[in-house]
């Protein structure tokens, strides 16, 4: 989890994207070019804004819309700022 401090405004959350596996279950290392060209849309919530009637909290692993976020970089780490409405599910 990141040590960066960021506080989203309004009904937004900040998510740190999950790291993609670089090995298969059998131990074969996959080059980056073998992975899907689509961005990963799973991550961990690291900050929440003023959410109304929401079950989201820091530490939740979430699935979010593939195109419904803004990418920011803080201290050489990538984060996504996502509107609450673009979160599709909490992964338990």
Are 64 and 87 within 8 A, CB to CB? yes
In a domain, 87, yes or no: yes
The pair of three-digit structure tokens given for residue 65, joined into one six-digit string: 């819309």
What is the per-residue pLDDT across 31-79, written as a single tens digit (0 to 9) for each?
555 555 455 799 999 999 999 888 999 999 999 999 989 999 999 999 9
In a domain, 70, yes or no: yes
Are 57 and 46 within 8 A, CB to CB? no
**Residue 46: Cβ-neighbour burial (10 angstroms; 0-12, 13-18, 19+):** buried
In a domain, 41, yes or no: yes
pTM: predicted TM-score of the whole model, two decimal places: 0.77
In a domain, 34, yes or no: yes
- Domain housing 75: 12-91
Are 80 and 15 within 8 A, CB to CB? yes
Domain count, the chain: 1
In a domain, 3, yes or no: no
């Amino acid at each position: 989890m990141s040590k960066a401090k960021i506080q989203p405004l309004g009904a937004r959350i900040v998510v740190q994207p999950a790291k993609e596996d670089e090995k298969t279950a059998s131990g074969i290392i996959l080059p980056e070019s073998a992975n899907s060209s689509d961005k990963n849309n799973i991550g961990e919530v690291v900050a929440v804004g003023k959410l109304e009637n929401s079950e989201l909290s820091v530490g939740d692993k979430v699935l979010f819309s593939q195109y419904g976020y803004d990418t920011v970089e803080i201290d050489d780490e990538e984060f996504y700022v996502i509107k609450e409405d673009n979160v599709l599910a909490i992964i338990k």
